[in-house]
Amino acid sequence: MKNKLPLILLLIAFFGVNAQQVEFSGTVTAKGIIYSEDESPFWIHSNQRGRMDELTKFSGWVSGLATYKISENAGFELGLGALYQDGFTDKLQLDESYLGFQNNWLLAHVGRKQKAKLYRGLSATNQNILWSLNVRPLPGISFQTKHPIYFWKNAGLAFEASLEEFITDDDRHVEDTRVHHKSFHLVFDKIQNFEIKVGLQHFAQWAGTSPDYGKLPGSFSDYIDVFTGQEGDVDVGGQEVNALGNQLGSYEIYLTTTVSDYKVQILYNHLFEDKSGMLLRNTPDGRYGIYIEDPEPGKWVDAFMYELYYTRNQSKNFPTSDGEDNYFNNNLYRSGWTYENRILGVPFITLDENRFRVNNNKIIAHHIGISGTAFDKLPYKLLSSYRKNYGGKGQDKLISNILSSYLDLNVWQNVVDVNVQVGVDFSSIASPNFGGGIQLSKRFF
């Protein structure tokens, strides 16, 4: 935090000199939760942007945003937010702290910035199967296209792309692990009322300091190997280990159209962690879904989403020398695909009791999300998920059936917004778990 103070003070001074050109906004939110069992119901603490953990009973955060336009289509923004939650975390943290820039085609930021909410918050993961809203944002630098950029307008061909580099600052097995992310999608919209987007997400955990091998490869040439997806054994501390990163990714297809004025999107994410997955030898593992949105909000149902998550195959018919896949786990980066002891991807994949290693990554999950307005004045969001857990690597036996439901109802919109939130889990191996609470929020300017 001390290293960031000079930058923050400089930006505040800059905005102060040009205050008449700066727009300010902010929110203050407080949430209190009670629940019947040792941990809160699944959807009360999952996909909450890292603001709630399994033991949280109170969480509060404040955020502010200053925007400064340098032209009609370009400008800077400064976001700063603080978060406190009890439970496992029980401390004051930065919720956001970033400087951003955007113009008519680019979005960029440096720092820690919360991700945009997609599908009206109805998805079980948000962006894709590997990158959810389940954690506090990682600090780093991000560049992404603001919208599809046409390279052949007459043929209806465009592309979207992103490049992001993050650093982990949590307590983990390999300290200072870096996280590389890039994406590229081709977009075709030549046919009226039809768009298809096909592409790839690529992630990698790399570099850092291992308690077993010391400092791991982190040079620019190593970064190039990580960027291009290279893998292989390298010498670390006199031993050969696969230290060029924990690679994982997703092939993606999105079909978007309108039916009777309803926006309809059909989506598919295929996840992979090695070459067998890249060659689709772990099919049918992935995320399948459909999203339907009413162009006129305010009805009893104005958006609906169904998703199927399947991860039981894990290249079981094409195992490597290390056996079948082991999603979100890694032998070198033992904290796995997590940040602050929370899963970075779809939260149906869960950690062990110590919140350290993934112990349940073979799942079949059906998820439904619905949003609308009840009685013309009560906006709501309903989530309901039924999942079968089959454990982890070396297992393929049904461990539990769990039904998790959640309702967020906005019962008051005046001086403050008041939301009532209730959640419940029914499990085949545990007692029913009930939870509920109230969220108060106030928006300024």
pLDDT of 232? 58
- The model's pTM is 0.92
Residue 306: name the closest of 365, 240, 393 by CA: 365
Q: What is the pLDDT of residue 1?
A: 47
What is the C-alpha separation between 380 and 384, in angstroms, rounded?
A: 13
Query: What pLDDT, on the 0 to 100 scale, is given for residue 2?
Result: 47
Mean pLDDT of the 433-443 span:
97
Q: What is the per-residue pLDDT for 32?
A: 98
In contact, 371 and 121? CB cutoff 8 Å: yes
Q: Give yes or no for residue 235 having a pLDDT over 80.
A: no
On average, the pLDDT of the chain sits at 92
Q: What per-residue confidence (pLDDT) applies to 380?
A: 98
Q: Mean pLDDT over residues 257-282, rounded?
A: 94
Residue among 27, 22, 26 nearest 11 (CA):
22
Of 51 and 21, the one with more pLDDT = 51
Q: Mean of the pLDDT values across residues 357-378?
A: 96
The residue that leads in pLDDT, 6 or 95, is 95
Q: Which of 126, 127, 68 is nearest to 100 (CA)?
A: 68
Q: How far apart are CA 353 and CA 355, in angstroms?
A: 5
Number of C-beta neighbours around residue 392 at 10 A: 22
Mean pLDDT of 188-203: 96
Number of neighbours of residue 318 by Cβ within 10 angstroms: 16
- Determine the 3-state secondary structure of 358 from DSSP: strand
DSSP string, 237-270: TTEEEE-S-EEEEEEEEEEEEEETTEEEEEEEEE
Nearest alpha carbon to residue 180 among 165, 199, 158: 165
